[in-house]
Amino acid sequence: MARANNRTGRMPSGHSAGGSRLAARDLRLAYDKRVVVDGLSIDVPDGGFTIVVGPNACGKSTLLKALSRTLKPASGQVLLDGEPIDSYRSKAVARQLAMLPQSPIAPEAITVRDLVGRGRYPHQHLLQQWSHEDELAVADALSSTGCADLSERYVAELSGGQRQRVWIAMILAQQTDLLLLDEPTTFLDIAHQYEVLELCARLHSDGRTLVAVLHDLNQAARYASNLVVMKEGRIVASGLPGDILTADLVESVFGLPCVIIPDPVTGTPMVVPRAAPHP
Amino acid sequence: MTGAASTDAPARPHPSTLRIGVWLSMPVRPRSLLIGGILVVALIVTGVLTLTLGTLGIALGDIVPTLRGERQGRDEIVLTAFRGPRLVVGLAAGAALAVSGALFQTVTRNPLGSPDVIGLTSGASAGAAAFGLLWPGLLPLPVGALLGAFLAMALVFFGTGTGFSSPSRILLIGIGVSAMSLAFVQWVLVRAGREQATVLATYLNGSLAARDWNHATTIWAAIVILIPCALLLSRRLQLIEMGDEQADALGARSSAARALSISVAIGLATAAVSVAGPIAFIALVAPQIARRLSRSAGPNILASALMGAFLLSLADLLTQQLPLDVTLPVGVLTAILGGIYLGVLLFAQWKKGTL
Ligand SMILES: Nc1ncnc2c1ncn2[C@@H]1O[C@H](COP(=O)(O)OP(=O)(O)OP(=O)(O)O)[C@@H](O)[C@H]1O
Ligand SMILES: [Mg+2]
């Protein structure tokens, strides 16, 4: 993981880039009447790799849905380039911002290439359903995720890790600057987890803006240029992992007593749980 | 890492793209074209057989002159009054039912989602029963069926509490509405005398006997308007297959697309039911067979339409020519064929262990 070393050196500059094309103000998010997120504001740093962590059901996926306009806020606003996101046409938003939900559904009988091709929808028109750019974007997305060899296979026949890469290829084919990924590493073995994270890191170093939900704090600390810690629908801390990830924070958010040591490979904070309380 | 290893693998071109100048470019699947071609040939064969077989049949060599209007007498009457309208209505009704089924199956993401299952067809039966036996003479049967279908869909729409936006609720409420409609039909049949019930039974099974050119105009107008609408929606429907969230994130506005598709599907199914009665299984089976043959995802609107037209005209040909002592309504035959197909499907899934 030589890349990880290089990246830690660059982190501060990545974070201090300044602008925020994507931001949210005073969000209140609810399903029917049940409020899940309340009074949340966030600025997603441009060109940064923002990683959202927090306990199950604290509203991480809900926040991502609101940021990608798939969930309408009960109140408050999501801003894209300074304008309310619902003032844009849906396809125009989808040309700027791509989102991979926590559990996407693979249609029956679809090949990898066709699935990835569906990411081109926001760039297509009624009469222009398959252009040369579409072709190039799909080929690009397939090769940068290592899926080129899979392109004629059926998605249903792939392993969980291969399928996850195909989904990422689909949103890459969308060719957006902003990428939101909800738990892109779930169901993957540890090597494939790092493979996906390295892919994200590569996109980040190419200048894209990423927001990902992760569960592994050590991975989050390693890769994030901006770590966002959520609890019960609120953001309790955000910033460089090295600045904010303390034993107190982890204990108060996750209820897990721990010590924080430097990651022997990258020097980023590493969470080591204390011995279980029972003998 | 695999990512690095295959970066330079050459990108194979997309199967094929139809380009006309700079303003039109569409992906085309050779396999779908092939299946479409085969189905068109099958349709022509079935049509010719329908016109030529049996004691009333027009001789093969006489078909073209009769179509041109060069023949008078028996052949002309058979073509314009008996088999012609029946065939033309059957083709369009089959296509309408199949496209309706394809739309319902895609928006509910469920292979069982079809006008049969969500209560539209049984609502039509209930309407026909009400105006055929309960208040006879008040309205013609097809109009009664139409009203019944609309009432059933209104019940589904308001019963879900969220309109047509939640697939699972549509299926659940639809099954309930369907059961209630069928119970109503039974009640009307039991209440009515045996003779009247027998008359209605033919209609309730769906029949293409004694169709005229008015029926043909109705159903063809419906498919000429609504199937293009379905085609326009089909790209957004492909995205809905990946889940509403993913579809919305790609800019497909899933709720609106679903509501529009269901309206189109209801329009097609009610048009078919009003000219041919509640014919079972075509809507359920035709899109499934079309999808399996063309091996592609998405609603497969055109392949489904051709398959539905073929299945219904084939079934009607069989009802006309099978050496039975009674003439079955075509709906009984489609139910038998559909039942066999469903059995095969379930058996295949059970063997694969995906049941
Ligand atoms: N579609 C929905 N309808 C109703 N309630 C929902 C829906 N989706 C999520 N919720 C509720 O909202 C709360 C937050 O859910 P959310 O999915 O945002 O959590 P999360 O932080 O992503 O959790 P996880 O780590 O388990 O993915 C949960 O209590 C959940 O039950
Ligand atoms: Mg989640």
In sequence order, which ranges of B18-73 are alpha helices (DSSP H)? 30-52, 63-67
CA A121, CA B22: separation in Å to the nearest integer?
Answer: 18
A31 touching B, CB under 8 A?
Answer: no
Chain B CB within 8 Å of residue A159 CB: no
Whether B284 maps to a domain, the answer reads yes
Does B230 fall in a domain?
yes
Closest chain A residue to the Cα of B239, Cα to Cα:
A118
Short-list B159, B36, B154, B169, CA closest to B110: B169
**How crowded is the C-beta side of B127, counted as CA atoms within 13 Å?**
27
How many A×B Cβ pairs under 8 Å? Answer: 130
Query: What is the token pair recorded at A85?
Result: 């996101």
> And the tokens for B191?
């209440």
Residues 114-133 of A with CB under 8 A from B: 114-115, 117-119, 121-122, 124, 126-131
What would the two tokens of residue A131 be? 């252009």
Please give the model's pTM, rounded to 2 decimal places: 0.87
Q: Closest residue (by CA) to atom 4 of ligand 1?
A: A31
**Between A263 and A15, where is the model more confident?**
A263
- Can you tell me the distance from the alpha carbon of A249 to that of B251, in angstroms, rounded to the nearest whole number? 38
Lookup: tokens for B61? 């060599």
B19 found inside a domain = no
Tokens standing for B253?
A: 């506005």
* Burial class for B264, CB neighbours closer than 10 Å (0-12, 13-18, 19+): buried
Is B251's CB within 8 Å of A94's CB? yes
> What pLDDT band is residue A13 in, cutting at 50, 70 and 90?
very low
Please return the burial class of A102, using the count of CB atoms within 10 Å of its CB with bins 0-12, 13-18 and 19+: middle
**Per-residue pLDDT in tens (0 to 9) along chain B, 355 residues:** 344 434 444 444 455 777 777 677 777 888 888 999 999 999 999 999 998 887 777 888 788 887 887 777 777 787 777 888 899 999 999 999 999 999 999 998 888 788 888 889 889 889 988 988 888 888 887 788 889 988 999 999 899 888 887 788 888 899 899 999 989 988 888 888 777 777 777 778 788 887 888 889 989 999 999 999 999 999 999 999 999 999 999 999 998 999 899 889 989 998 998 888 888 889 989 998 998 888 888 888 999 999 999 999 999 999 888 877 777 788 888 888 888 887 887 777 677 665 5
Pocket of ligand 1 contains residue A56 by CB under 6 Å: yes
Task: Write out chain A residues lying below 8 Å of B3, CB-based.
Answer: 144-146, 195, 198-199, 202
CB atoms within 10 A of CB B180: 16
The answer to whether A243 contacts chain B (CB < 8 Å) is no
Q: Is residue B78 part of a domain?
A: yes
CA of A51 to the centre of ligand 2 (A): 13
A57 lines ligand 1 (CB under 6 A): yes
- Answer yes or no: do A126 and B23 touch at CB < 8 A: no
Nearest CA to ligand 1 atom 5: A31
Nearest residue in B to A90, CA atom: B251
Rg, chain B, Cα only: 22
Distance A58 CA to ligand 1 centre (A): 7
List the single residue in A with minimal CA-CA distance to B234: A126
Chain A, nearest residue to B233 by Cα: A126
* Identity of residue A167: W
- Calculate the average pLDDT of chain A: 90
Higher per-residue confidence, A262 vs B274: A262
Residues of A in contact with B27 (CB under 8 A): 117, 129-130
B3 contacts A146? CB cut-off 8 A: yes
Amino acid (one-letter) located at B154: A
Kindly list the residues from chain B whose CB atom is less than 8 angstroms away from the CB atom of residue A97.
249
Q: Which residues of A touch B246 (CB under 8 A)?
A: 99-101, 104-105
CB within 8 Å: B242 and A107: yes
Quote the minimal CA–CA distance from B108 to chain A in Å: 13
Helix, coil or strand: residue B211: coil
- Which residues of chain A make contact with B12, given a CB cutoff of 8 A? 151-152
Torsion angles phi and psi, residue A217, rounded to 5: -65, -35
| Number of domains within chain B | 1
Residues of chain A above pLDDT 90, percent: 76
CB neighbours of B194 closer than 8 A, spacing ≥ 6?
none
Q: Which domain holds residue B159?
A: 24-348
Residue B352's pLDDT is what? 66
pLDDT of B7 = 40
CATH code where residue B168 lies? 1.10.3470.10
Q: Read off the pLDDT band of A15 (50, 70, 90).
A: very low
Q: Is residue B154 part of a domain?
A: yes
Task: Report which of B96, B82, B121, B92 is spatially closest to residue B313, judged by C-alpha positions.
Answer: B92
Kindly identify which residue of chain A lies nearest to residue B17, measuring between CA atoms: A130
Top residue of A118, A153, A183 to mutate, by most chain B CBs within 10 Å, is A118
Q: How far is the CA of B243 from the centre of ligand 2 (A)?
A: 15
User: Has residue B6 been placed in a domain?
Assistant: no
- Report the nearest atom of ligand 1 relative to the CA of A59: 18
In a domain, B14, yes or no: no
Q: Is A138 on the interface with B (CB under 8 A)?
A: yes
Count CA atoms within 13 Å of residue B273 on its CB side.
Answer: 33
Whole-number pLDDT of residue B9: 41
> Tell me, what's the ipTM?
0.87
Residues A186-238: pLDDT tens digits? 878 898 899 899 999 999 999 999 999 999 999 999 999 999 999 999 999 99
The reported pLDDT for the residue numbered B170 is 86
| pLDDT tens-digit map of A78-115 | 999 999 999 999 999 999 999 999 988 888 888 999 99
A256 class by beta-carbon count within 10 Å (0-12 exposed, 13-18 middle, 19+ buried) = middle
